[in-house]
Amino acid sequence: MATIVVLADDLTGTLDCAVQFSKQNIDVSVCNYDSLDGSSMKNSASVLVVNTDSRHIAPEEAADRVRRITKLAVQTKVSFYYKKIDSLLRGNIGAECEALMRAAGRERMFLLPAFPDNGRYTRGGCQYYGDKPVTESVLGNDKFSKQLSSSLPELFRLQSCSVQTRVVGISEPLPQEQVTEPTVYVFDAETNEQLRERAAELKNTELPWVAAGCAGFAEVIPLALGLESGADREIQPVSKALVVSGSINPISIEQVRNIDGAGYKVLYLSYEQIHEKPELLEKIISLAREELQQSGTVIVATSGDTAEADLMKEKDAMCSIMATAAAGIIDGMKDCALVVFGGDTSLGIIQEMRAKEIKPVCEITPGVVCSTLVVDDGSKNVFITKSGGFGGKDAIVEILSFLNLKQSK
């Protein structure tokens, strides 16, 4: 039965957070919000990570999803809650954090949004990517979910939250004051050691609290809660890999271009292509399957050149196209890993493949998660996911190296 519930607003974030527990050999279950009920929560592993799929919806609807799940968790006697937020401050952070606090009946939330391994730092209550506030950085212009502010306190105000906020500096002790209104404590941090130090402080506090942050802080939550590790997990060997990038994040686009320049086969798709010539999708699937059989690796990616006005309109259509392509390419392929960039694309693919379970296994690099995907017929695939803004330019090469796959000459 679940004793810890983690709520994330997209699939890659869900898996990124879940693997922080599973890589420490702590039993984890992952599910989508629309498949969750009291029975599944009672039959879950001790840690249940739920994808609310709420990053791109209205704040009121996002809060309702979080509230419903939290109330269900309260009924099943869940003892701890963690709200996973986006490290670039996208989505309905304020609305969801407030909904969790009020539904759980907790007046303190300790929020540590730093993710040092991926260059995200919190300074003076503001979120930075490298040396720039996230809204001023290269990742500060998300076309689907624009960041309102780099300042967490300001972000909560802009999202019309009635919770109080207080910034806690790196050298300040854990706040112990009594509160009469829900209060979010935003902690500065720039290193993993500072996150671990806060977790150690929390382990010794008797105050009732909930936590929030990125995968960086999730990694040390087991320390804060005194969780014990279980048995090691292994991934199945593969001989092929299909890489699908539905992300238009500039980092993912650079990663695809880098692998294209290295001589790997990359097939580009755009909404306009498939809309004008639907038969082209079948041709892409056929070409990709042939390349997989010959070389063992193929990359299918969005072209990333659609106008911004069209992107919002065509996002769901492109997710559907990429999901159809991935399912068609991998169908019947034995020992083939599926590597997906982008949370919306990942969710579309698992729905298209009628997956019934995702089991996080390990973390390849920070933000790159390896899981086992179990589909309806019981077959299993190695399933690797990455948020669009994570990883260096050689991310695809690193993933293929992890899978022991090399380019066929």
Q: What is the CATH number of domain 240-402?
A: 3.40.980.20
The rounded distance, in Å, linking the Cα atoms of 84 and 11 is 11
Residue range(s) in the chain whose domain bears CATH number 3.40.980.20:
240-402
The DSSP line for 43-105 is TS-SEEEEE---TTS-HHHHHHHHHHHHHHHHHTT--EEEEE--TT--S-HHHHHHHHHHHHT
Residue 309 is predicted with a pLDDT of 45
Share of residues in the chain with pLDDT > 70 (%): 95
Phi, psi of 132 (to 5 degrees): -125, 145
Residues 6+ apart with CB under 8 A from 33: 50, 51, 52, 53, 54, 65, 69
* Residue 90 · residue 249 · CB < 8 Å: no
Question: Tens of pLDDT along 191-213?
Answer: 999 999 999 999 988 888 999 99
Whole-angstrom distance, CA of residue 371 vs CA of residue 225: 24
CB-neighbour burial class of residue 386 (10 A; exposed 0-12, middle 13-18, buried 19+): buried
Q: What is the DSSP letter of 296?
A: S
Instruction: Please give the average per-residue pLDDT across 118-146, as a whole number.
Output: 90
- How many helices (H) and strands (E) the chain has is answered by 14, 18
| Span 225-242, average pLDDT | 82
Domain with CATH 3.40.50.10840 in the chain: 4-225
> Average pLDDT, stretch 1-22?
94
Residue 43 has pLDDT above 90, yes or no: no
**3-state class of 1 per DSSP?**
coil
Name the superfamily (CATH) of residues 4-225.
Putative sugar-binding, N-terminal domain (3.40.50.10840)
Please give the pLDDT value at position 232. Answer: 63
pTM for the complete prediction? 0.86
